[in-house]
Structure 1
Amino acid sequence: MVGFFTSHGSPTILTEDSPWKEFWRRMGEKFSDVDSVVVISPHFFTYSRFYVEVQDILESIHDFYGFPDELYKFKYSAKNDVELANKIYKEALRDGLPVIEDTSWGLDHGAWIPLMYMFPKGKPTVSLSISGASLEDHIRLGKAIARATDRNILVMGTGSPTHRLDLFQLSSKKETFLDPLLSDAVSKGVEEVLSLFKGKEWKKSMPEGDLKPLFVVMGYSRRPGRELLHDIPWPGISMIAYIFT
């Protein structure tokens, strides 16, 4: 049971010289034998229920605006592991989680950017949303994924622990307050990460999607994780990666 969390960064990373692209390639080699990927992006947000995508093909979505035209030429798609998606839906429903099967989304940039470098030839993929539910319910969703299959899958969440777009626009100093605390908490387990929520560092850093994808991954893996890479490529935005094995 392998869990992986990685920041996806700004769409501009596609044309920038960044260590993350080589990192994702290496991680793709490491995970080359997985049967399928379950991806949870903070940009796939639904309010009242978790969404499980069940269409045959998951197409890339360019859910960003006002960027250079060349960024919209990048495309990626993946075959949906519909059988696994259905099993996850049923397990989440059995656990009493508010969940629905859907065909309206796909892979937003929080999902397809890292996937494109990790699995350029594609890998069967399942796309799940985060929702307005509690962090604890996102942990339960991760546990439902674990119960849904005994196959060799990778559960991957994405997002940035420091996501202050106001500081990015002001070209402020590159710094973070939450990230060292988060890495220490991740190394100890999900309860430690939960204890950071509502703390002053958490509020000051405005984590992307409240790091709900991370809680899904930790619910799935049921283990502490370790940091693989950390970077502050832009003012107000940090990137980090954890593995849970």
Structure 2
Amino acid sequence: MVVKSIFVSHGSPTILVEDDPWKQLLGDLGRRISGEFRPDAVVVISPHFVSWRREFLVETQQRLPCIQDYYGFPDELYTYCYSTDNDPELARRIIEAGRDAGLAVRGDERWGLDHGAWIPLSYMFPSGVRAVPVSISAEASLVDHIEMGRAIAKSVGEERVVVLGTGSPTHRLDLMSLGARPRRSWFDELLRKTLEAGDLNSLLGLHGTREWMEAQPEGSLKPLYVAVGAAGTARARILGEEAPWAGVSMLAAEFL
């Protein structure tokens, strides 16, 4: 069963070397989940793992390599990495369940754990946990991503599985270079209220609004919609919010 479906922002790679309270939030969340549910595996959906077709990719390789997919940062940041084992049988069932739901889904062995996946995993589950990376699809709709989440929920069987979507609700990196003041956007406020209300149609209706276009959510928030589908509800408890830099927001939410 899906024991917990959550969405957390992974932040900048600089979190690895900074005294950032977000690391404490991730660590506390991971310890709570581990203590309460003892998960067998985590299905992780990062905005950096993208299929450019209308299909979803599920990693099937046994050992998931750590991908340091960030560039131009201080050398120290490239000394950090986190890799773990896959759950190939769960991956196979996810592919099958997605296809049964009418989605295009196939296995892949060319990716691994990008920083949108391994940074939160490293703080939430520092001792390791089996992980199954599932991509977002550039061409698939938000509804398709909800359906993919529902397929994941149907696939898990008796395993205790956490579904983890990651990304930033506001992702306007251009504002950082303009020296704008760090603050949460109107979209961040709207998203929080929508998640707390738990209305799926309202959550889908955020797409294309002026607030959405101004915020430019990372990965079009598709990992969040997968988490919604896996949870079976759009209602969430907000665990944390930040605006550490101009144009970038952080959110942690667990679906209820």
TM-score of the two chains, using structure 1 as the length reference: 0.98
Aligned to 2:9, which of 2, 7, 27? 7
Matches within 5 A, 1:124-135: 124-132=130-138, 133-135=140-142
Does residue 189 (structure 1) correspond to residue 199 (structure 2)? The answer is: yes
Q: Secondary structure at the match of 1:142?
A: helix
Q: Deviation per CA, 1:160-197: give whole Å up to 9, x if none.
A: 00000000122211121201110111122332211111
Aligned 8 A contact 1:189 1:225 in 2: no
- Equivalent residue, structure 2, for 1:238: 249
Aligned to 1:139, which of 146, 149, 163? 146
Does residue 95 (structure 1) correspond to residue 101 (structure 2)? The answer is: yes
Cα distance between partner residues in 1 of 2:105 and 2:23: 33
- Equivalent residue, structure 1, for 2:166: 158
Cα distance between partner residues in 2 of 1:211 and 1:189: 16
- Equivalent residue, structure 1, for 2:156: 149
Gaps of 5+ in 2: none
**Moved beyond 2 Å, runs of 4+:** none
> Aligned-pair distance for 1:226?
1.4
Q: Deviation per CA, 1:4-57: give whole Å up to 9, x if none.
A: 100001111111111110111111111111111000000001111211000001
Cα distance between partner residues in 2 of 1:68 and 1:3: 33
Q: Secondary structure at the match of 2:89?
A: helix
Aligned 8 A contact 1:186 1:192 in 2: no
Does residue 40 (structure 1) correspond to residue 45 (structure 2)? The answer is: yes
Amino acid at match of 1:172: A
Cα distance between partner residues in 2 of 1:130 and 1:116: 21
Q: Secondary structure at the match of 1:43?
A: coil
Aligned 8 A contact 1:39 1:156 in 2: yes
RMSD after superposition: 0.9
Moved more, 224-233 or 186-195: 186-195
Moved more, 197-206 or 166-175: 166-175
Amino acid at match of 2:106: I
Of all paired residues, the percent bearing the same amino acid is: 49
Does residue 178 (structure 1) correspond to residue 183 (structure 2)? The answer is: no
- Equivalent residue, structure 1, for 2:59: 53
Cα distance between partner residues in 1 of 2:14 and 2:178: 18
TM-score of the two chains, using structure 2 as the length reference: 0.94
Amino acid at match of 1:181: L
